[in-house]
Amino acid sequence: MLTAQSAMERLERSLRARDRLHEKLQLPASRDLATEAIFYFDVALFMLGGAFDGLAHVAHTVHCLGGPKRAVGWGSSSWMKQLRTANRHLEQLMTLGQPHRDARELIAILRNTIHEEALRTVSWQTGATRTERVVVPAGIEAKLETVLARIGTPADYGVLRQADGRLYIEPGMYLERILPLVVAALNAVMDATPVDKLPGVDPSKLLTAPPDDQMFNATIRRRIRLLSGIT
């Protein structure tokens, strides 16, 4: 229960980081502000990646899969092979090339730069205007472009190759465009994970929709979605 709750908490933290990112992007461009924007972009990616990882651990527990916990994850071929036997539907949803897996990859490809070259800015001068552009590390360009090509065009997501031959990303636009895909993927994974199989769970008491009380009524939920930009 706590692992599943952590996935939702990380989603909430990613939205907070996203808001801070947009605050920085509204200010006049500078190297310091661009560095701060990248910081919040990284945080949002880490939190969204953590949400996907948490749901993988929930599925691992629900289906009593074997192997070490460090091997649990959508990117682990050995773990996905186990999941295929236990829950073919969920495994297919998260197979490479499928839309919900693509949503996860749009996070993972950039998040995994923690292990290699970090995102950084390059100063561009056009006339009297100076801008800071975020360059995509060369080592992940091909992976990112491949996934984006399956769901649209890189430009649709703020990813553009410029005159210097390098690939650049607009963090604010990228995050806004992928959030609906990510939320849909997280929902699909939760729907396909039969938590009613866990010991002590009474299926009749499981919520199948948000509670319709004063705190979570339909009007408030709609306002939250509008503020979050995930409608």
- Decide: helix, strand or coil at residue 223: helix
Residues 135-191 have pLDDT tens digits of 899 999 999 999 999 999 999 999 999 888 899 999 999 999 999 999 999 999 999
Is the predicted pLDDT of residue 57 greater than 90, yes or no?
A: yes
pLDDT average, residue stretch 29-52: 91
pTM: predicted TM-score of the whole model, two decimal places: 0.86
Alpha helices in the chain (DSSP H): 2-25, 31-62, 77-86, 88-93, 99-111, 141-151, 171-191, 218-228
pLDDT average, residue stretch 212-226: 78
User: Residue 85 in contact with residue 66, Cβ under 8 Å?
Assistant: no
- Between CA 73 and CA 184, with CA 157 as vertex, the angle to 5 degrees is 45
* pLDDT value at residue 231: 61
pLDDT classification of 27: cutoffs 50, 70, 90: confident
- 64: Cβ contacts below 8 Å, ≥ 6 apart: none
Is the predicted pLDDT of residue 227 greater than 80, yes or no?
A: no
* pLDDT value at residue 77: 95
* pLDDT value at residue 95: 96
